[in-house]
Amino acid sequence: MAASTYSPSQGAERRQRQQQMRRLSIQSDWDRSDGRSFIQCRPAFLRTGAANAASGSAYAEFGTTKVIVSVFGPRESKKAMMYSDIGRLNCNVTFTTFATSLRGQGSDNKEYSAMLHKALEGAVILETFPKTTVDVFALVLESGGSDLPVIISCASLALADAGIMMYDLVSSVSVSCIGKNILIDPTNEEEVCQDGSLVLACMPARNEVTQLTLTGEWSLPKINEAMELCMDACLKLAGIMRSCLKESANLSN
Amino acid sequence: METTTIGGGEGATGMAAHMEVEAFRRLFPLPFYDRHLSKSVRPDARTLDSARETTISLGPVASADGSALVKIGETTMLAAIKLEVMTPSTESSDEGSIAVEFYMPPICSPMVRPGRPAEVAPVISQQLSDVIMSSRMVNLKELCLISGKASWIAYLDVYCLNADGSLFDAALLSAVAAFTHLQIPLVSVNEEGRVFTVSGEQQEKTKLELVNKEKRKLSIGNTPFPVTCVIHKEHIVVDPTAEEEAIMETSITIVLDTLGNLVSIYKPGGVGLASTATIKECISRTKRRMQDLKIILEEAVSVMEVD
Amino acid sequence: MVGLSEGEKQFLRGGIEQDLRSDGRTRHQFRSVYVETGVIPQANGSARVRLGATEVIASIKAELGKPSLLHPDKGKVSIFVDCSPTAAAIYGGKGGEELSMELSVALERCLLGGKSGAGAAIDLSSLVLVEGKVCWDLYIDALVVSSDGNLLDSLAAAIKAALSNTGLPKVNVVLGASPEEQPEVDVSDEEFLQFDTSTVPAIITLTKVGKHYIVDATSEEESQMNSAVSVSVNRNGQICGLTKRGGAGLDPSVILDMVSVAKHVSQQFTSDLDSEIAAAEASDE
């Protein structure tokens, strides 16, 4: 029965909007649908301690992108795991069935799980919890674009809330390349018609990139420009994350 | 049983004087609770028959047609409804349908891990579905679009974001709230018989024939309200936390509707047996709690309307 | 896993520092590449590529399908990589699954371009026969037969070779009278259309060992890496995909430097690969 149902939201309408975006993108200057400038991020709302069942947790909201991350552990590794001098980091990303405009399956997203792991593993001091595992579980409540960067930033905040030792907070920002322009922190609508994208996760205090992926066709100077834009935004985001942690620490005192 | 275990019962009581409270709570949970309950108070300072603070907020998920976030103490539930179109079966050609699913993602509890789902999730899923259908809270005929051709199927997905006891109560409350919040989109039908949504702008520009101009909200009839109690010796403890549920194994879940009709009683096994008097007592607790829940839900709706 | 003694590690690292690697190569030199095409007769195109002791096979299977509702003007391409447990013991079970997925995602990222289709190696709109009705679905399957490092670069090379070996049969489509009717399809078994592979990029993975980066690392060398960056570069020298691997963080300026090195190295590698492919095609016929 489930297979024979369909969402009434109109493909034609969405296509029309996409075509409109395409037309816009040819011009050098146009307005983003939410009124931001090209190099302006969506307002970020961050909070730690969203779920008390976990060792640490965080909730992040960037526009309509809403993510909750819980961290469990350090706790016993799975029985089948071999002995290890250093700790393990296990990441899992799940989407809710209602996260996207078309109803999804609500299954694990393996690709994002792997990317989240790569973005965090360089920052977590695994030597501090030998033989054990730290589990980082993310649930995307609503997908509104730039999902992966929001998950990464939120996860590092949750790790900090859980008291897991890290070299630095990891903050992450993505940009979309549409026509001649580079747009920071794209929404879903913008991501659909992007010509290329760049996702960067870094530890701003150490000026180190932990994860970088790029799609689409780029020239070297353009990569340089996009990376600088991301690094700058990551630095600012890390500042917001830090003040969020300070606030919650003050509250608990 | 508890008196025979090492350090349980009397021994533990003796040792209690020399131990920190938290350690005593961990090592001897039963005596710890016994002493609380005999003084009619619980570790979180509640009386036995009071529930935790309950909040409802409507419409947290913009990508869904109806949604609600419910918190009972630390237990957090997010329910969202997405409407899709289906062809109704021939027996009930003028009715829509509801598909309920309950999820416990790994974020909600240390007991759940990816690839090892929680055992209770499918049970709660079925209970939710049974209660929603049997309470006739939603008139399925209101979900009909074109008799025999098309009707709505409401996919109700409830996610547990944080599990701290009384999961079913929070899940049902969030489901009820999500149905209250549900906004049915305006739709029209094209030549091929496919139903599609019509936005406000389009409605003015084109003179599309709308199928459901009047039926934008469901008239929620008798709303069911749940209360879970755990039974420990002669005590009835309302709205248990995860810790209380783990220690006191006998639980009873009562669901009443607004008219005071009994919708469901659920008592899953457990070591203790409940007498009819106990069940009656639970029902009267539920009646009292229902009044509070009704007000909380009404307030959430009025806040929504002001916005 | 490669088990190396302290002495061997020192030797390896020392060699890289002095620009003379243990197999005699310089830091930016590839192992010689060997290409064989048409290795799987049932497939529409296939190729075997060897880089030193690393051996991979790629095959292309084309099937007629229906374009998705969201993109009625595009065909579909899916890439699946399988790491055979015979290639290395760790590929058995879950380890192989994770690596397979990582490689598939990285290949998709660099071959399929941005979401709008810009910068794609395979032009998806060229796969459409009738808009919204009939298109080609390309299934790209790759198998790692034997592994001695640098899997991603070899896989990309094998896919390029397999694509240039691919002929899509000419198709005549007769549309039905009404829009709902399925169109009639007539697949020719004589006329084939050759695939244009000039836009397919090469992937160059730079592995950072100590302060230096090397291309085409062997498994031994990969075991000593701090981090690696895989860059795909097309013929015009444009970057069409980039993935960072390995846990350690990198300074942004180092990444940019690695990208420009990759861009430089890719020219030599692409022309070597192209001539190998041409030679293989010639001997195949």
**What CATH number should be reported for the domain holding residue C266?**
3.30.230.70
- Name residues whose C-beta falls within 8 Å of residue A23's C-beta, 6 or more positions apart in sequence: none
User: What integer pLDDT is reported at residue C88 of this predicted model?
Assistant: 73
User: What integer pLDDT is reported at residue B206 of this predicted model?
Assistant: 59
User: What integer pLDDT is reported at residue A8 of this predicted model?
Assistant: 73
The DSSP output letter for A52 is T
Distances (CA, A) of C227 to B47, B295, C207: 58, 58, 6
User: What integer pLDDT is reported at residue A31 of this predicted model?
Assistant: 77
- pLDDT tens for C160-218 read 999 888 888 888 777 766 666 667 777 777 777 777 788 888 899 999 988 888 999 98
- Name residues whose C-beta falls within 8 Å of residue B4's C-beta, 6 or more positions apart in sequence: none
**How many structural domains is chain C composed of?**
1
User: What integer pLDDT is reported at residue C106 of this predicted model?
Assistant: 86
Q: Are A90 and A108 in contact (CB under 8 A)?
A: no
**Amino acid residing at A80:** A
Lowest mean pLDDT among A119-133, A135-149, B132-146, C65-79: C65-79
Lowest mean pLDDT among A90-99, C30-39, C89-98, C193-202: C89-98
| Interchain contact, A101 vs B164, CB within 8 Å | no
Q: Considering Cα of A52, then A58, then A64, then A65, what sign does the dihedral take?
A: negative
Q: Where are the beta strands (DSSP E) in B143-201?
A: 144-146, 150-162, 187-189, 195-197
Query: Quick one: average pLDDT of C212-239?
Result: 87
- Name residues whose C-beta falls within 8 Å of residue B104's C-beta, 6 or more positions apart in sequence: B112, B117, B118, B120, B121, B160, B163
Q: Is residue A209 part of a domain?
A: yes
CB of A102 less than 8 A from some CB of C = no
ipTM of predicted complex? 0.87
Q: Is residue C125 part of a domain?
A: yes
| Interchain contact, B109 vs A143, CB within 8 Å | no
My answer on whether omega of the bond before A8 falls inside 30° of 0, hence cis, is no
CB of C235 less than 8 A from some CB of A = no
| Interchain contact, B105 vs A1, CB within 8 Å | no
CB of A23 less than 8 A from some CB of C = no
CB of A188 less than 8 A from some CB of B = no
**How many structural domains is chain B composed of?**
1
Query: Quick one: average pLDDT of C93-115?
Result: 80
- Model confidence at C83, in pLDDT bands (50, 70, 90)? confident
User: What integer pLDDT is reported at residue A3 of this predicted model?
Assistant: 43
CB of A34 less than 8 A from some CB of C = no
What share of chain A in percent tops pLDDT 70? 89
Tokens of B46: 């509640």
User: What integer pLDDT is reported at residue B180 of this predicted model?
Assistant: 92
- Domain span at A240: 36-252
Q: Which residue out of A209, A211, A222, A234 would a mutagenesis test of the C interface target, given it has the greatest number of C Cβ atoms within 10 Å? A: A209
Q: Is A188 left (phi over 0), alpha (psi -120 to 50) or beta?
A: alpha
For residues B105 and B306, the model is more confident at B105
- pLDDT tens for B105-114 read 999 988 888 8
Lowest mean pLDDT among B86-95, C66-75, C218-227, C260-269: C66-75
CA distance linking residue B236 with residue B233, whole number of Å = 8
- pLDDT tens for B232-276 read 888 889 999 998 988 887 889 999 998 888 889 998 877 777 788
Helix (H, G, I), strand (E, B) or coil at B16: helix
Lowest mean pLDDT among A1-15, B89-103, B188-202, C138-152: A1-15
Q: Considering Cα of B29, then B35, then B40, then B45, what sign does the dihedral take?
A: negative
- Model confidence at B5, in pLDDT bands (50, 70, 90)? very low
Q: Is residue B302 part of a domain?
A: no
Q: Is residue C1 part of a domain?
A: no
- pLDDT tens for A67-98 read 999 999 898 887 666 778 888 899 999 999 99
- Model confidence at B202, in pLDDT bands (50, 70, 90)? low
Residues of chain C found within 8 Å of residue A192, distances taken between Cβ atoms = 115-116
Q: Is residue A84 part of a domain?
A: yes
- Model confidence at A123, in pLDDT bands (50, 70, 90)? very high
Per-residue exposure over C5-38, b if at least 16 CB sit within 10 Å of its own CB, e if not: eeeeeeebeebbeeeebeeebebbbbbebebbbb
User: What integer pLDDT is reported at residue C115 of this predicted model?
Assistant: 67
Tell me how long chain A is.
253
Q: Is residue C232 part of a domain?
A: yes
> Which of C105, C110, C239 is opposite residue A220, by nearest beta carbon?
C239
User: What integer pLDDT is reported at residue A2 of this predicted model?
Assistant: 38
Distances (CA, A) of C249 to A130, A170, A205, B211, C229: 21, 11, 12, 57, 11
- pLDDT tens for C125-162 read 778 888 778 888 889 999 998 888 899 999 999 999 99
Per-residue exposure over B229-240, b if at least 16 CB sit within 10 Å of its own CB, e if not: bbbbeebbbbbb
- Domain span at B192: 185-216
- Model confidence at C120, in pLDDT bands (50, 70, 90)? confident
The DSSP secondary structure of A224-253, one letter per residue, reads HHHHHHHHHHHHHHHHHHHHHHHHHHHHH-
| Interchain contact, A197 vs C241, CB within 8 Å | no
Q: Is residue B4 part of a domain?
A: no
Task: Give yes or no for residue B2 having a pLDDT over 50.
Answer: no
**How many structural domains is chain A composed of?**
1
Distances (CA, A) of A164 to A116, A125, A131, B1, C236: 16, 8, 15, 40, 46
- pTM recorded for the entire structure: 0.88
User: What integer pLDDT is reported at residue A131 of this predicted model?
Assistant: 87
Q: Is residue C237 part of a domain?
A: yes
User: What integer pLDDT is reported at residue C281 of this predicted model?
Assistant: 83
- Domain span at C172: 6-284
User: What integer pLDDT is reported at residue C249 of this predicted model?
Assistant: 83
- Model confidence at A10, in pLDDT bands (50, 70, 90)? low
Q: Are B197 and B183 in contact (CB under 8 A)?
A: no
Q: Which residue out of A217, A229, A235 would a mutagenesis test of the C interface target, given it has the greatest number of C Cβ atoms within 10 Å? A: A217
CB of C248 less than 8 A from some CB of A = yes
List the CATH number of the domain containing A232: 3.30.230.70
CB of C240 less than 8 A from some CB of A = yes
Task: Give yes or no for residue B7 having a pLDDT over 50.
Answer: no
Calculate how close chain C gets to A208, using CA atoms only, in Å.
5
- Model confidence at C85, in pLDDT bands (50, 70, 90)? confident
Calculate how close chain A gets to C242, using CA atoms only, in Å.
5
Per-residue exposure over B187-198, b if at least 16 CB sit within 10 Å of its own CB, e if not: bbbeeeeebbeb
Chain A nearest-CA residue for B73: A52
